[in-house]
Structures are given as structure tokens and as C-alpha cells.
Structure 1
């Protein structure tokens, strides 16, 4: 029996050493491994599935980790071909087994992960807000300008079918001597290029990619809009036993507010991530906070973070037009409507690799060699930017400590010393000494004021800067998966090419795989260009605001010192 990609995908009999590319904060309760960048991990099992491997750190800690976060560091060790099926995979909490996720070639079931099963909640007495509890997910989970539309969308690759219909985006599914090719497909992206994805697209909007001066771009939304998150209110239910914060979300194109809780944002993130994470960056939500979560300062900070998050979603030409997002920002507080929209979103078949069925790229062919070189450039860029952002976060946090600690305290200590000196000078009761005594008191007040300025200043410059950079770290965290998907697709296309040379794949089948590989490359390039477009504007705004706050801060210090210096002019001859 001939296995597809045996060397790369089969269970290895030797341990492979890999080097970590990024930090990964794993969920230890679900058996995941945590590590920092540049560590060496021994891979003990590559057949977990869904893009996960099992490995062991140097300290003996074992667990699961995403394969796109590592690269091989010892190319001399290669996987030994094995013709037996891999051992049973480890079952993760909330994940399907590999046998459930992989499909045979003739199966009509879509590849994309199905919606998570929702447990039925026991009925409770209605208090006017119970619809919200039925919308729990099964697992935790500014003013911008739309870029001008680069060009008019080109025609697609000859795919024109009525909707709704089962679209496979292919002429044929690759069959290699009826072997286990499908069984060793690891990712939704690989399943897509092999023609295994089928989905009923229904009213899923077609996502066009157009060619601009900078390269492929998602076609702009015909009706761009933004969202405002406002009026956070603490509410409770079950006679005050359960408390939560509700926020008003007001889309600019409807100007009608709807009320949402943080868990609803969490549910939306889960649905968007499930649908788009193969090729589109869904930014991470702000971290949850358990203690002190109803303090006014925290509530306002959370409101600002949620507004930044939802505005970034609204800016995306593809995600902003999704039915689940439209439902989230427009559906009013009606229990029946919410449940209907929730069930519809969770039954969406165009998720994961199947989402690519709704994408129409330009008709131009893609040089896959150039695509691989471009992918390498993107990988280096995102890795370097992530490291630089991490350094700014560390330095910024140190500066905040200094502003609120050492700088404030040293100025206030100096103020106390000057005040003590002025009290000493008061012992000299001669009139000639009184102006100097008064001037020293004023100088003491000035440095006390400057100390307070340092203590408050971080809220005006360092906090906003670090908030923006932290938001981008959440976006950057999605790119290892996206870029890793493109790399796995390019590698799979090469494997199919080798099979064609061995006369195990027909020319038509090879052409289909290549067309779908080009579409993945187009999608990833469009997403990277979308990211780069807003990165330039966002970081220019971050630094402009930071420097303006720094200038105002130091000017205020200069003005305070200049005003204080006036007290000494009459005592010193010109």
C-alpha cells in the first residue's frame, strides 16, 4: 500500500529535535506545553492531528504544542517510513479525535470543524435577560479609514454555480491508487487543496481578491462602518447572585445600540476564529480578569479594549460582512431571534478550509516559487516585529515603574529637603533673608508638583502606547498559524507534483491542486497586505500621540521651573 507523503507525515520511529520560534502559553489543564522562543524540544509524537505535536522540554515537561511554532533544528534526523497506521491520537478536551476529523474521499461531510456542541441549560425563571445565558460558548475562548479600493475585481477561475449548492471548488478529488492520502491530511488548508472540502455556502458572501500596486488585496466592503462600545453598566440577575458588565455596541451604519456582555464577545471570537483562521487574522480578545473586575478604572479600560477589538473586526472587508458578525452587532435583545442567529452561525459549513470555497481570486497565475520566497519574508517580518514589540512592552513597563516610583519619589524627596532648608533659614529673622526663604518654599512646592506629574504621566503616554502594541501582539500571534498553513499547502503541492512524475496523479488533478494552492497563496498575501496597510497608519498614530504627550509633559515641567526661577531674579544682580 502506498502512503502519500510518508516521510513527512507518518509516525516517526526516532525523536526529532525542533527549535521553538515563538513564545507559547499552553493550557496545562488540557495537556498543552508552554515554552519560550529559541528552546529545543524533543518531538515524541507527530500524529496528534489538527496541526498539533507532542513533545518534551529539556526540563522533562511534556505536552502538546502547535507544529507551526517550531522548526527542525537537526535535519540529519528524518522520519523513518512506516506502513502501519499511526497509534490512536490523544483526545484533547473540546477537540474531536483524528478519526472524526479526517474524511474519506467520497464523504459529503465538510472538512471544516463543526460548531461546538452546546449543552442544554436547565430552564430558569425569566428576568428579561435570560436570553444572554443561552448564548454561552462551550469553551472560554478609533476612527479608522478604509483603504481605497485598488481595482475592480477580476473574474474568478471559471467557477460559476448557483447558490446555495455544494461547491467543492475542484474538478476532481486526488486519488492515488485508492491509498490513504486523505487519512494523512493534517490541516483544513491541506484538505482544501486536495479537493476534500465541500460546503453548502448558502448566503455566505463571496470574498473577492483584487490586484493593487502593493499586490493582492481583499476587495473593500461597499459599505464600510465602525462600531462604538459605550455605557458600561453593572447588572445582576438571580437576586444579585450573578453580576456582570453590559456594554452598548452602536454600529455607525445603523446608529442603533445593542447590549452585549464580555461572554458574548468571547462567543463571537470563537465563531470567527473557527470560520476564518486558515487564512485571516482574527485578533485576540483582551485578557479576562477575575479579581477587581468591577472597579471603575478596569471597566473603562475594558471598554476601550473591546472598542479597539471590534473596530478592527469592522475594518476587515471580509469578516465585517460575515453573517455572524452582522448578527452580533445588529440583532436586538429578543431571545428567539438570538437563538436562531446563534444556531445558524454554529451550523455554518463554510468554516476552516471550506471558507476558501467562497473566495474568488484574480485570474492571474501565481509563481509558487516566488510565493514561497514571499512567505519566507513574511515569516521573518512577523517574527522580528513580535520580538521588537515584546521588547517595547518590557521597556515600557519598566518606565511606568520608574515614573510612578523612583522618578516621583526622588523629586518629592528633593522637595522635602528644600522645605527643610527653608525652615532652617526661617531661624534668621532679618528682612534680607525672607525673600530667599520664601523662594525655597516655592521651589519645594514646584518639585512636589513635578513628582506628582511623573506619577500621573504614564496614563497619557506609556499606557496608550503599550495598549496599542499589546493589541498588535494579539494580531501577530495569529500569523504563525496562517503562514504555517500556506507553507504546508506549498509542501503538499510539491508532494502531489512528485506523485504526478510517478504517474500516480493525472495532469488534470495536478492542475486542480495547483489552482487551489494559488488561491491559498492569494488569500495569505491579501491578509498580509491588509495587516501592513493598517500597521503603518496605526503605528504612526501611536508614536505621534506618544511624542505629543511627552512634549506636553516636559513643557509643563519647564513652565513650572521657569515660574519658580522668577522668585530668585530680584536676589541675583544682572
Structure 2
């Protein structure tokens, strides 16, 4: 996105060339510190990094929640954005905060900022995978998702600080997000009628007299039954807004990534539509996200004028980041900081173990898929051809009664070749859905470390409260308020944990039932074919 900013500046602010030069310096010289260990998966162009390691940012426009980096040994690869914290290793004295302020002012001076930004983002920066970026000659999917670095991420300051919420002034006349005590502990308030939406009817559209083409999808929510149309970049905008607003307490799964080539192919459009459906379904199932103003606006806007006005309103939302906790009202007693720390650690251990388990299952699944579409069907084909070759040898004997045996041998050979074809097609019928579900949960789990890290940082701040009182930085009332707000954060984390677990149990029950049913049907079909071949042989 910063690359787009440079181009925009070149077109819109030629009079301030120093702005462009300084932003380029910020982009090229940026360093980051690794917040959590990350182990690369083989074949995915990822780079393993360790907590505390300092790396160089090479490309922040990759997308899908990934950033291309280089370590001190000169090795480069992709690392999840949420695992990094940008640091101020900048040779230019102009700070990132100044850059952000300057570009914000430029945006305010030009009402077409959003549209011009979107036009340039359609250009064609590169990323490996199968996703999509509409417009331009080249645009950009894997099982990860779409991401653009927000401008405020280039401030080269530390990530969201819990102090923003812990020491904030009380808010009056604000919406509230209640947390209730259920059978399993703190839970969100779920709507009486769950929201659903259908992503369908993709159509190729164009603008600028056909110079820019894109795919537009129709989204129909159950609340209105009135379809709205959105391009991929609109989904990307929604992802950014949800991440900014709820990312401190809700894991926002990444979108499918952008596409370089083949984005108008029928197979890709079908796959992209399925992935967007999965993403929208996940968002609809979250009681906080689905009822938020920005999500409802995305599903209910009526025309282009309302869309532009709603976008700008959402982008000016002040209740973002840690401030979202100001809206939480738990219907439960205040927790002690020690209890909060224990809950946070317990959640971190579970999610880390689940992430490891998903990584192993994905590796095994990828290996099995390759075997099913490569060597395994070839083995069945070789067996079938061997039977047929032997039948040819038998038929050359011209011995009376030979035809019955040779015909049966040929039928057996053909059966094994048919089985080879079945083996090739089977992963798409069952393993595909298992892999997609695990990839989706991998994205969800990848968004959790920053959330738990924020909670841990808040706990540390509350522990320091007594020292801050002694130093005169806060008073006793503010200390008690910090403790109470930490408790609210903990109830939020627990409500999110319970939402995550209930969805996990439902999703894995569903996908495992589908997988095992398809597997049982598959092997039953093979057994039926083998029994059919068996009946071709006479009993002596």
C-alpha cells in the first residue's frame, strides 16, 4: 500500500517531491523485531524466525497478512504480519508519524483520495498464489488471505498499547457490548436470528472505457434479502476496517489473497467465490462483528453516494484498537490480575498446541494429496496394464477356453485403471474441505498472538500501577480503574475463547463427518468395482 502511496504522491503532489523521497526511505530501511517464534512450512516460500530476532522488511505489499523479510544471514521469505513489530531503524530524520500526518492532510485536501488510491492499487504488484487484485494487466490465492498495510502501521512505533484503554477517560452515551455468564463462562450476546449471507453471481465488469476490468460479486443478506454488489477490493477494505476496529479482541481471519494471472478464469472465479463465502460466513457467525455498523453497512448500502459516505464515516471511527474494550460491560464480578494472567496463559498454550496440530495435519494432507494425484494412481495404472499385458500373452496360446480367462484379465486391468482415475479425483471431494477448514483455522490462530500479547501487556501495566501511584503519574482512583478495566478485558477474552471453542467443535464435527463419509463411499466404490472384476472369473 505504501508503494501505491508513492505513486499517488507522484501524480497528485508533484510539488512536494521530498515527501515521496522520504516515504521511499521509510519503506526501504524499515526493520522489525520478531514477537513470536514462527516455523516455515516447506514449499510455501516462508521463513522461520525466532522471538527477539531483528529482520529487514523487503516487501510490505505482499498481501494475505504476510510480509517478505530478510534475516541477518541474508535468507529471505514470508512471515505473518502479526508476528512482527516495526522498529525505528530509519536513517531519515523525518518520522513515520510525520509521514502519516502529512499524507492524512493530503487526503483531506483531496476528496478523491479513496478512489484514486483504489485505482492505483489495481495496478499489479506481485505475490505468489491464486488470489486477486482487480484491474491492471497483472494482479494477485493460497489458503491465506488479503492484507494491505494500514498507513498507521508505518509510524514505526510499538504496536497497540493497553494504556490507551486502561487510562482513558470514561465514555458517556456510547453503545455497549454486554458479556453474560453462561454455562461455559463468559459469553457474547448472540442475536435471536443469526445473520447469513450468500455470495453468488460473479460478473466481469469494467470501467474507464474497458481499460480496467474486475469481477463483481453479489452478496445477499438474510436480514434484507436485497443483494448488494462488491468487488474484491471492497472485501479488502472491510477486512481492514474490521481488523482495525476489532483486531484487539477478535481474531479476524485473513481474506483469500490477490491474484497475478488467471483471475478471470472460470475455475479461479468459482474458487474465489467459495473462499469469500467462507470468510463472510465466519464474520456473520460472530455476534459482535456481524452486528457492527461497518459490517451492516457493507451488506446494506444502496448506491454509490451512500457507499462513499459510509466508507469515510467508518474510516473516521474512533472506537478502534484497545479502545473497543471501553464498550464492554461484563455482568460478572471483577477478576483479580492473577486470575487474568492464568486465563491468558491457558488460552495461549491451547492455541499454540492447536496451531502445531493444524500445521502437522496440513503437511500430511498436502503430502497425501500429491500422492493421490501422482504416484498412487500410477501404481494402479501399472497394475492394470500388467494384467492386460499378461492377458495378451495368454490369448496367444490359442488354447480352448482361453477367451474367458483373457477377457476377465482385461476387465481386471480396466478396473484398476478406473480406480486410478477415482484416486486422482477423490482429494477434491473430501480432502479439499478438510484442508480448507484447517487453513481457515490456521488464519484465525495466526491472528490470536497479538490479542493475547495485548492482554499480557495490560496485566503487566496493572502490576506496575502501585509504582505509578508512588511516582505521581496516576492516582489511587485511576489505579482501581485500571484493575477494573483489566477485568473487563479478561471477560472479553473468555467470551471470545468460548465463541472460538463452540465454533471449533461445530466446524470439526461437520468437516470430519463429511470427510469420513466421502472416504467410506470412495472405498465402497472401489470394493464394488473389485467385486465386479472378481465375478468375471469362473470358478473351476
Task: Bin the TM-score by the shorter chain.
Answer: 0.7 to 0.9
Corresponding residue of 2:118 = 136
Between 230-239 and 512-521, report the one with greater CA deviation. Answer: 230-239
Residue-by-residue CA offset, 1:150-200 (whole Å, 9 max, x unaligned): xxxxxxxxxxxxxxxxxxxxxxxxxxxxxxxxxx9963422110226x879
Question: Is there any run of 5+ residues in structure 2 with no aligned partner, and where?
Answer: 1-32, 57-68, 126-156
TM-fit CA distance, 1:223:
3.7
TM-fit CA distance, 1:206:
2.0
Pair 1:194-2:167 in alignment: yes
Matches of 2:402 and 2:111, distance apart in 1: 81
CA spacing shift, 1:490–1:43, aligned 2, 3 Å: farther
Matches of 2:343 and 2:436, distance apart in 1: 30
Corresponding residue of 1:531 = 500
Task: Give 2:189's match in structure 1, choosing from 197, 219, 223.
Answer: 219
Matches of 2:442 and 2:77, distance apart in 1: 24
Question: What is the root-mean-square deviation of aligned Cα atoms in Å?
Answer: 3.7
CA spacing shift, 1:61–1:118, aligned 2, 3 Å: farther
Corresponding residue of 1:14 = none
Q: Secondary structure at the match of 1:431?
A: coil
Residue-by-residue CA offset, 1:200-259 (whole Å, 9 max, x unaligned): 977xx4211111121111111244211111112222233432221111111112111111
CA spacing shift, 1:230–1:408, aligned 2, 3 Å: same
Residue-by-residue CA offset, 1:300-328 (whole Å, 9 max, x unaligned): 11111111101111111111111111111
TM-fit CA distance, 1:99:
10
Corresponding residue of 1:448 = 417
Corresponding residue of 1:97 = 97
Q: Secondary structure at the match of 2:210?
A: coil
Question: Is there any run of 5+ residues in structure 1 with no aligned partner, and where?
Answer: 1-16, 26-33, 45-54, 72-86, 102-113, 124-131, 142-183
Residue-by-residue CA offset, 1:520-552 (whole Å, 9 max, x unaligned): 111122112111110111111111111111111
Q: How does 1:334-349 map to 2 (within 5 A)?
A: 334-349=303-318
Matches of 1:190 and 1:309, distance apart in 2: 32
Corresponding residue of 1:36 = 48
CA spacing shift, 1:21–1:523, aligned 2, 3 Å: same
Corresponding residue of 1:231 = 201
Corresponding residue of 1:207 = 177
Contact kept, 8 Å, 1:23 with 1:37, in 2: the verdict is yes
Contact kept, 8 Å, 1:232 with 1:245, in 2: the verdict is yes
Q: How does 1:373-522 map to 2 (within 5 A)?
A: 373-500=342-469, 505-522=474-491
CA spacing shift, 1:118–1:463, aligned 2, 3 Å: farther
Corresponding residue of 2:37 = 21
Corresponding residue of 1:325 = 295
CA spacing shift, 1:428–1:511, aligned 2, 3 Å: same
Pair 1:554-2:523 in alignment: yes
Residue-by-residue CA offset, 1:346-389 (whole Å, 9 max, x unaligned): 11111112222222222411122111011111111111111111
Contact kept, 8 Å, 1:21 with 1:70, in 2: the verdict is no
Which structure dedicates a bigger proportion of its chain to helix? 2
Contact kept, 8 Å, 2:184 with 2:498, in 1: the verdict is yes
The structure that has the greater radius of gyration is: 1
Contact kept, 8 Å, 2:47 with 2:77, in 1: the verdict is no
Residue-by-residue CA offset, 1:268-310 (whole Å, 9 max, x unaligned): 0011111111111111111222122222222111111111101
Contact kept, 8 Å, 1:236 with 1:243, in 2: the verdict is yes
Query: What TM-score, normalized to structure 2?
Result: 0.76
Pair 1:302-2:277 in alignment: no
CA spacing shift, 1:61–1:427, aligned 2, 3 Å: closer
CA spacing shift, 1:65–1:449, aligned 2, 3 Å: closer
TM-fit CA distance, 1:261:
1.1
Corresponding residue of 1:59 = 73
Matches of 1:289 and 1:492, distance apart in 2: 43
Matches of 1:116 and 1:209, distance apart in 2: 41
CA spacing shift, 1:223–1:485, aligned 2, 3 Å: same
Contact kept, 8 Å, 2:384 with 2:416, in 1: the verdict is yes
